[in-house]
Structure 1
Amino acid sequence: MSTNTADESKYRLPTNVKPIHYNITIKTDLETQEFQGYTTVDLNVLEDTSSLVFNTTKLNIHDVVVHSEAQKSQETQTVNTDFDQKLERAIVQVANPLKKGSKVQLRVWFDGKITDELMGYYTSSYEDNGKKIYYALTQFEPTAARRAFPSWDEPLLKATFDITLISRAETVSLSNMPAASEDSLDGTTDEIIGKFFKDSDPAGWKVTKFETTPPMSTYIVAYANGPFKHLETSYTSPLSGKKRTLRVYATSDLIDQTKFGLDVGAKVLPEYEKVFDIEYPLPKLDTLVAHDFDAGAMENWGLITGRTTAYCVDEERADVSAKRQIASTQSHEVAHMWFGNITTMSWWDNLWLNEGFATLMGEVIILNKIFPEWKVYASFYIEHTESALSLDAKRSSHPIQVAVPNAEDINQIFDSLSYSKAASVLRMLSVYVGEEKFLKGVSIYLKKHLYANSVAEDLWRGIQEATGLDIPELMNNWILKTGFPVVTVTETPEGIHLRQGRFFETGDVTEEENSTIWQIPLTILSTDADGKTTIDNKAILKTREMTYKLDVNKPWKINAGNTGFYRVLYTPERLKKLGEEALRPGTAFTVPDRLGLVSDAISLASSGLGSTSGALSLISGMRGETDYLSWSGIASQLSRISRVWWDQGDNTRDDMQTFLRGLFTPIVRRLGYEYPKGEDVDNVQLRTLAIGNAANAGAKEVVEKLQEWFAEYAKTKSLDHIPPDLVRATFTAAGKYGGKHEWEVLRDTYLAAPNPTARTASISGLTAVKEPELQKATMDFILSGVRTQDIFYFMVYMGRSVAFGRETWHYLQRNYDELDKRFEGNFQITYCVEYAAFLLNSDKDAEDFTAFFKDKDTSKLTMILPQSLDGIRAKSGWLKRSKDDVIHWLEEWRKSNSIEPKI
């Protein structure tokens, strides 16, 4: 269902013409960092009109001509071209009206700057023997194609593209399709090409013409030019037997670290073809790795682009988390070759059709086929569902499918609701109907919309055809309504009584806010008289409340497997029994079940619907847990509490650190610091998690070990003696417990890191420092020595750092105007605001936050500002309700347990 409103019409292009084909020629001059272009756009005239309106911004437009087959004269010169800077449009008035049903060609010459703004056609760079080398690439999603060439820059307006790139002879040119030809320009007779060199010599230049694309939206058009190297492999289509070339391109300093992502692409492509029963349609698929990139990666059809941290890894010294990041990213982007590229949302309100599916398919269903040892079905809850539940519990949340009338609104919905909530409710649906039928329905949907556009109803029809169920009735409220339910469960003599109501992180809800009734798959685990457990995947709560028969004296649980997008509120007595059952040998409760118990307990405590001390007792009782994912969930939930109680005095902070040391140091002692070859991945990740958390909590023996490693690194600049999985923990400990010398080593590492893992680890260390003068040095460094794409990493790490406390917020206040200018038009300013507010936890903080933005232009922040403010108020409310409860519980725990020594 489209959510477009009448108000949105002024932001959408007129529907009087439709582009059919673009022929685009771009001349790239990396020396002057400028480009020139010429494009012809073939148009079908759908209504009589005297004007053509298309998107353009940041371009110098000149020599505009309209040619019409319906006119007797060969060309109709434009009489006037106006520009609407706010709406980023050109309005071309023609002398002779264009008739409905006729064909028209728009011809435009243009030029522009290759900027460093990480969008449109922009520049990136690297150093080679002390010399800065530049290259150029595109980033068009969502609305930046108009910065590179005049276009009808809306996803519904698909067309085919012929792209020609003119470049220096020694460079490499790339685009969506394979090169059809590449020739020197010496002696060229091409009239259009010649016009690019009317005032210069074409010697030393070349022209690369690429094959025609299938019909596609402008935001996935891509091209690049620079001194690229490549690695190559291939895969064979399981559907046709056709062999396709896969390449990864990068500059010479990166190319040796890109093979893993290339190999992942070769493994997942045939799996997608089999699942969708649709062959990948292009002759090739390239990936270009860039030093400077706004997002993580971008699914341009046939030419994926991404940042170094998303694609580069030293395989000989690769840590598991880096490999998982790369594999997830590449599989996600390859999923878009179908979801988004072959079948594209009609408008950005259906962005979730692209991103939710790419998240579920790419990071779970397909990735599990390639790396089953990573347990991605279980980790999905932590990595996606948890973050989406957190955002959707705010009053300022928005529906998955939300109206986005203008470009500034579009940028803001690339959030955990469009990605993670969408993926989570789709997974909930797949469990309810069965994954095989779900994927069959998805295949039906894609086949009915090949090379076309779609809306949510089209997807529901496909799954409905495969299942025979009323999918719109089941799913519409999950997609179209804000928020999610909490299911309150009470026990009766015959079973359980369930009641649904909307959940807020603040715990309060009005009658009006509680009007939505969701259809909730309950997924009930129960045990019969013989001790056999079963899971009822078909039980569904369609009304406000219902009863369900089961034996409450035997183990049971709602939301088995934790695949539902909701919270469950049990009585304190039942929660205690569930915790005991979760740790019983041979329990039917899975790791996701245990994750869900802890997560629900903390979230319900934060809202006032449960007890925070009771949730802490549940966690304390799980000290015998041996599974990495369970501990990952525990660490995440304890971090939530720490973020609220961080400034409640040294004794409280010390008691929390003592609790953390008591949980994680024993694991370190059990697993040690070595990573035996061939070790189970779960143990690898658990050791890494335990050492990082123990060190962060000040465990003396752990910190001293990491400091010893860092001291050796500072002398030798070699990482060979540090296990790859512990580089970040080592660098973080060096920053947190070190001084100026360690800070300088970390800074120098950032500036000349041997790989992205070391660079990210150095950022973690630089933002962990405790001394005020070192914190100032880090903050000064951000705007003087940090790549633009990495600033938000610094803000994220600083925002999470208790050592920095409110300094991150003060830093944003001091530098907001410069940061806002640096990130004009892209995503990163929202992250800066979000994490600057991450530790703010009082009513005074909320007042200061509101006052600071009162006189600012916040048109790009209409979602993140209220969400951040809601978060501050929620933390303040939690602290007021549970301050003494938590402080007392931590004191009692310390008194009753042996205290691990701290640094």
Structure 2
Amino acid sequence: MGKGFYVSKLVLAVGIIFTVAAVSTIIALAVVYSQERAKNNDVAKPPEETTTTSSTSTSTATTVQSNDPWNKYRLPTTLKPIHYDVELQPYLEKNAAGLYVFHGKSSAFFLCNTATDLILIHSNKLNHTKFNNFDAKLMEGTKEVALKGTFFQKDKQFLVVQVAESLQAGKEYSLYTEFIGELADDLAGFYRSEYVEDNVTKIIATTQMQAPDARKAFPCFDEPAMKATFSITLKYKKPYKAMSNMQDIETKTEGDWMITKFDKTPKMSTYLVAFIVSEFESIGNDGNDTVTGVKIWGRKKAIVDEKQGEYALSVTKPILDFFEKYYRTPYPLPKSDQVALPDFSAGAMENWGLVTYRETALLFDENVSSIGNKERVVTVVAHELAHQWFGNLVTIRWWNDLWLNEGFASYVEYLGADEAEPDWNIKDLIVLNDVHRVMAVDALASSHPLTSKEEEVNSPSEISALFDSIAYSKGASVIRMLSEFLTEPLFVNGLASYLKGFEYDNTVYSDLWTHLQMAVDNQTAVQLPLPIKDIMDTWVLQMGFPVVKIDTATGIVTQKHFLLDPDSVVTRPSPFDYKWIVPISFQISGKNDHIWLQKESDTVDKFKITGNDWLLVNLNVIGYYRVNYDDNNWNRLLNQLQSDHKLVPVINRAQIIDDAFNLARAKQLGITKALDTTKYISADREYMPWQAALSGLSYFTQMFDRTEVFGSMKKYMKKQVIPLFEHFKNVTSNWTIRPLSLTDQYCEINTLSTACSYDVEECLEFASKLFNAWMVPPFTNNIHPNLRTNVYCTAVAQGGEEEWNFLWDRFQETDIAQEADKLRAALACSKEPWILNRLLEYSLDSTKIRRQDAVSTISSVVNNPIGQSLAWDFVRANWKTLYSMFGESSFSFGNLIERVSRRFSTDFELEQLMQFKNDNQNPGFGTASQALEQSIEKTKANRNWVNENKAAVKKWFEDAILP
């Protein structure tokens, strides 16, 4: 799944259709569905006193025990699925009860591994049609097997089928069910999306199954290790068309209905099943026996009229071809469809052969999309295509190893994007986007290891909570580190062996170590101090990462668990006592070298520095750790930055700044030393160091923008950014042309954003001039897409209701998702509290702001200092509503808690956060549970940090702005 994120990433769904004879029958079944829907809220588990023994017999008293199989989340291993025949019929008009529904038929074929009289199969929010008073029909070949009874276990989401006589080991059976489900707009399972085209509202039936939502589309053994093949049939009306994982093999007409059958899939997990019924159009080709078909699908206006799929089409095939070579394994399917959906819960989803995306992650319009939008498309496409092998062909056994799927794809997405855009030098950006970003989370005592024991991950909410930055970004960081110290050719050798050895099967993370070790053992060029498993388990089985400190006077190097709050208490035990096997690369006097740190402390003679030489450790930030030095080496590095910063590699300039600020927050470096790293920045013209500085200083903004410290800080930032502002003003001919490189364009964007944020008058005038010109009829927008986010926000912040209403009108008019995102974010920049409160109310009204964008809209208001307290009040007042909408399935839901509490730094705010936790034990926090604990920990650390450093920070900024 793609980062949605952020993190974000996605969910799949599967659905099923069956035939209805006449309109009267449809209406009757619709009414039945509505009644059953309400009734099934109660029929969620067997009666506490009785279970039905047959359709005609009397009830037999049975006490339900807590250790009954249906009271556990995990499936027993008694049955093994082989194949599913699934037929789904979505009704894309409201029924008599005002609902959108789908009808389904499903046959699940399975092998009995161990004799049993019980079948547990997942089913969630499906209302089953009765067969002789039972919810299923069980067959052994053509022979019907007698059932003892059936019931639902709602809490664990099981359809429980009790068999009159035990199923026999070694025999195959099939379970047939018919059912009705709701095509809700909940973005999970088989769900409904809507859009307006030519003033007509159009409905889409689509899916998002990952992680545990295939069961909302049809009854299935819904665990990743329960792989099977699938034959999907979709029944729909013209002018709709149908898609699924495989190509269609037959379409016929039955009255008003079209019936399309799709080819049988390879053996795969339920979470990868996908199907869509829509009026979408496509560009691309169908392929043939030797060439994979590649198509981009979406709304007709977007794909055909505005050609927004052209860029994605241009990069998809090259990326697919690259991964075939990289994995040394042919793409397993005959086609690869990429589909842009108006409503989608995360960034994208890697359904095998039918990849689904938010529109912002797939569609691109040269006239309105920015360079950031373009990078988003190519990296998300690369991420999802990487999964077609790593995740789909070879799949994790259980969700506790999710990091292996998502971390790997989050690493190689940069390789695939680099293949498609070789001039961008995009691989370097993993340091900012993933390594530095996730370290901020992994440095908390409330972090968690990459992997965990299977028994620690059970419920759907526990599974969904794993889709966080640790899985994606830390996973990417440690896999990148592994690839680097092995070397890429050796890494690829082991990877190819792993994929071949487990194709169409399931693995645990250590299986990858085994195959990489085989590659190491078959060569002599790369020597490791220990087996790969021994090295990598220190990074996978314990949370956090080390800070490596070097004393250049003595050569002593040490490692220690890095905690952002040194006073926090780590309660999670570690099998390695928080010690790591650390690959250390370094540079002295322009010469590169490397060593391994295997102990808590060691002495390295090479690290003893004399004269003006300086030591630089962790070249290009290949290792997942922070670096600290003695004061003398810090001073030598700072002097080098001041005298000639270009002698320090660009990535390491960013690293020095990022490490310094975080070390200072952890009380391992003086706060003024960290601030000193930004003194040279006015002379730097590169994106990565500037972004690191802005990220580090953003913490100061969050802590002090409501205090007297901010006045002098604002003057300092203005002083530092003006030279950069003048530089880009010149190289862009007064902002009329764009720089050539990707990072230079990003630096230009940062320049304007920073200059306007800190009230550089020329920047404010420039933004207002562009925006005011746009407000004049016929409302022609001549603002370059790269500059729009900043110009929109600046104009709304400086303006009032008129500017806000103008932007709101443009937001309602646009049907280009990337432009809508820019407009929606800018609406949160107003300085009028009543306007911000109005936007917050709109966030929960899906007729105004799409459900998928509600959380990010609230987060945008939080980013506004004036809106932060308003958003916090709003979240507290509406928590039950927000939880019911997003708490159990949305991977980005945790971001809301993190962002709304980001500025908290006082005892009062900590008390509010703790009260919020106590007040909402019911309904709870779902996928935001971990984020809440991290926010409490961060608030405590912020409070302590501000109390200890406010005076020193105030003096530093005051001194720094002196002539």
SS of alignment partner, residue 603 of structure 2: strand
Q: Which residue in 2 is equivalent to 1:485?
A: 546
Distance 1:840 1:360 in 2: 33
Q: Tell me if structure 1 keeps the 8 A contact 2:445–2:570.
A: no
TM superposition shift of 1:169:
2.4
Amino acid at match of 1:453: N
Q: Are 2:754 and 1:693 equivalent residues in the alignment? A: yes
Q: Which residue in 1 is equivalent to 2:231?
A: 162
Q: Which residue in 1 is equivalent to 2:122?
A: 55
TM superposition shift of 1:7:
13
For each residue in 1:657-709, what CA deviation from the matched residue of structure 2 results, as whole angstroms up to 9, or x when unmatched? 22222222321222114353673333322111100111111211101111111
Deviation beyond 4 Å, 4+ runs, structure 1 = 6-9, 233-236, 509-514, 582-588, 717-720
Distance 1:717 1:51 in 2: 69
Amino acid at match of 2:147: T
Choose which of 259, 280, 285 in structure 1 pairs with 2:310.
259
For each residue in 1:105-160, what CA deviation from the matched residue of structure 2 results, as whole angstroms up to 9, or x when unmatched? 11010111100001011111111233321111000100010011001000000000
TM superposition shift of 1:780:
2.3
Amino acid at match of 2:271: Y
Distance 2:640 2:492 in 1: 34
Choose which of 189, 194, 203 in structure 2 pairs with 1:125.
194
User: 5+ residue gaps in structure 2?
Assistant: 1-67, 95-99, 522-527
Q: Tell me if structure 2 keeps the 8 A contact 1:735–1:768.
A: yes
Relative to structure 1, the CA distance from residue 501 to residue 508 in structure 2 (aligned partners, 3 Å threshold; closer, same or farther) is farther
Q: Are 2:396 and 1:345 equivalent residues in the alignment? A: yes
Q: Which residue in 2 is equivalent to 1:762?
A: 823
Q: Are 2:468 and 1:415 equivalent residues in the alignment? A: yes
Relative to structure 1, the CA distance from residue 391 to residue 8 in structure 2 (aligned partners, 3 Å threshold; closer, same or farther) is farther
Q: Tell me if structure 1 keeps the 8 A contact 2:445–2:568.
A: no
Q: Which residue in 2 is equivalent to 1:191?
A: none
Amino acid at match of 1:691: L
**How large is the Cα RMSD of the aligned pairs?**
2.1
Q: Tell me if structure 2 keeps the 8 A contact 1:26–1:37.
A: yes
For each residue in 1:176-207, what CA deviation from the matched residue of structure 2 results, as whole angstroms up to 9, or x when unmatched? 0000111111xxxxxxxxxxxxxxxxx22110
Q: Which residue in 2 is equivalent to 1:248?
A: 296
TM superposition shift of 1:728:
0.6
TM superposition shift of 1:66:
4.0
Q: Which residue in 1 is equivalent to 2:599?
A: 543
Q: Which residue in 1 is equivalent to 2:501?
A: 448
Distance 1:875 1:373 in 2: 41
Q: Are 2:425 and 1:375 equivalent residues in the alignment? A: yes
For each residue in 1:372-398, what CA deviation from the matched residue of structure 2 results, as whole angstroms up to 9, or x when unmatched? 332222211110011210111111111
For each residue in 1:223-277, what CA deviation from the matched residue of structure 2 results, as whole angstroms up to 9, or x when unmatched? 01011111114789xxxx9211111111123222122122221110110011110
Amino acid at match of 2:835: L
Distance 2:486 2:771 in 1: 52
Q: Tell me if structure 1 keeps the 8 A contact 2:614–2:633.
A: no
Amino acid at match of 1:242: T
Q: Which residue in 2 is equivalent to 1:226?
A: 278
Q: Tell me if structure 2 keeps the 8 A contact 1:114–1:136.
A: yes
Q: Are 2:811 and 1:750 equivalent residues in the alignment? A: yes
For each residue in 1:346-388, what CA deviation from the matched residue of structure 2 results, as whole angstroms up to 9, or x when unmatched? 00001011100100011x2222222233222221111001121
Q: Which residue in 2 is equivalent to 1:197?
A: none
TM superposition shift of 1:88:
0.6
For residues 693-712 of structure 1, the aligned pairs below 5 Å read 693-712=754-773
Amino acid at match of 1:13: L
TM superposition shift of 1:837:
1.2
SS of alignment partner, residue 103 of structure 2: strand
How many percent of aligned residue pairs carry the same amino acid?
28
For each residue in 1:303-331, what CA deviation from the matched residue of structure 2 results, as whole angstroms up to 9, or x when unmatched? 01111111122124432111001111110
Q: Which residue in 2 is equivalent to 1:534?
A: 592
Relative to structure 1, the CA distance from residue 38 to residue 754 in structure 2 (aligned partners, 3 Å threshold; closer, same or farther) is closer
Choose which of 458, 461, 476 in structure 1 pairs with 2:537.
476
Amino acid at match of 1:108: T
Q: Are 2:655 and 1:603 equivalent residues in the alignment? A: no
TM superposition shift of 1:604:
0.8
Q: Which residue in 2 is equivalent to 1:555?
A: 614
Q: Tell me if structure 2 keeps the 8 A contact 1:142–1:410.
A: yes
Q: Tell me if structure 2 keeps the 8 A contact 1:117–1:824.
A: no
Choose which of 431, 436, 458 in structure 1 pairs with 2:511.
458
Q: Tell me if structure 1 keeps the 8 A contact 2:368–2:785.
A: yes
Q: Are 2:691 and 1:628 equivalent residues in the alignment? A: no
Amino acid at match of 1:474: I
TM superposition shift of 1:642:
1.0
Amino acid at match of 2:265: T
Distance 2:350 2:625 in 1: 31
TM superposition shift of 1:725:
0.4
Amino acid at match of 1:334: L
Distance 1:662 1:638 in 2: 14
Q: Which residue in 1 is equivalent to 2:919?
A: 855
What TM-score results when the alignment is normalised by the length of structure 1? 0.92
Relative to structure 1, the CA distance from residue 655 to residue 253 in structure 2 (aligned partners, 3 Å threshold; closer, same or farther) is farther
Distance 1:555 1:492 in 2: 11
Q: Are 2:373 and 1:322 equivalent residues in the alignment? A: yes
Amino acid at match of 1:158: K
Q: Tell me if structure 2 keeps the 8 A contact 1:749–1:758.
A: no
Number of residue pairs matched?
Answer: 858
Q: Tell me if structure 2 keeps the 8 A contact 1:222–1:303.
A: yes
For residues 778-797 of structure 1, the aligned pairs below 5 Å read 778-784=839-845, 785-797=848-860
Distance 2:779 2:412 in 1: 39
For each residue in 1:796-853, what CA deviation from the matched residue of structure 2 results, as whole angstroms up to 9, or x when unmatched? 2222222323222111111112211222532143222222112212222111111112
TM superposition shift of 1:795:
2.2
Q: Tell me if structure 2 keeps the 8 A contact 1:346–1:453.
A: yes
SS of alignment partner, residue 561 of structure 1: helix
Choose which of 893, 896, 912 in structure 2 pairs with 1:829.
893
Distance 2:446 2:887 in 1: 24
For each residue in 1:580-604, what CA deviation from the matched residue of structure 2 results, as whole angstroms up to 9, or x when unmatched? 3346558553211111100110001
Q: Tell me if structure 1 keeps the 8 A contact 2:224–2:397.
A: yes
Q: Which residue in 2 is equivalent to 1:425?
A: 478
SS of alignment partner, residue 767 of structure 2: helix
Distance 1:491 1:684 in 2: 38
Q: Which residue in 2 is equivalent to 1:302?
A: 353
Q: Tell me if structure 1 keeps the 8 A contact 2:287–2:335.
A: no
Q: Which residue in 2 is equivalent to 1:523?
A: 585
Q: Tell me if structure 2 keeps the 8 A contact 1:579–1:597.
A: no
TM superposition shift of 1:566:
1.1
Q: Are 2:712 and 1:655 equivalent residues in the alignment? A: yes
TM superposition shift of 1:91:
0.6
SS of alignment partner, residue 21 of structure 1: strand
TM superposition shift of 1:727:
0.7
Distance 2:287 2:566 in 1: 52
What TM-score results when the alignment is normalised by the length of structure 2? 0.86
Q: Tell me if structure 2 keeps the 8 A contact 1:664–1:691.
A: no
Q: Which residue in 2 is equivalent to 1:645?
A: 704
Q: Are 2:327 and 1:268 equivalent residues in the alignment? A: no
SS of alignment partner, residue 88 of structure 2: strand
Distance 1:586 1:506 in 2: 31
Distance 2:539 2:422 in 1: 29
User: 5+ residue gaps in structure 1?
Assistant: 1-5, 186-202, 897-903
Relative to structure 1, the CA distance from residue 275 to residue 373 in structure 2 (aligned partners, 3 Å threshold; closer, same or farther) is same
Q: Are 2:934 and 1:884 equivalent residues in the alignment? A: no
Q: Tell me if structure 2 keeps the 8 A contact 1:800–1:838.
A: no
Q: Are 2:680 and 1:613 equivalent residues in the alignment? A: no
Q: Tell me if structure 1 keeps the 8 A contact 2:552–2:633.
A: no
Q: Are 2:228 and 1:176 equivalent residues in the alignment? A: no
Q: Which residue in 2 is equivalent to 1:192?
A: none
Q: Tell me if structure 2 keeps the 8 A contact 1:750–1:763.
A: yes
Distance 2:377 2:699 in 1: 27
Distance 1:65 1:85 in 2: 17
Q: Are 2:334 and 1:283 equivalent residues in the alignment? A: yes
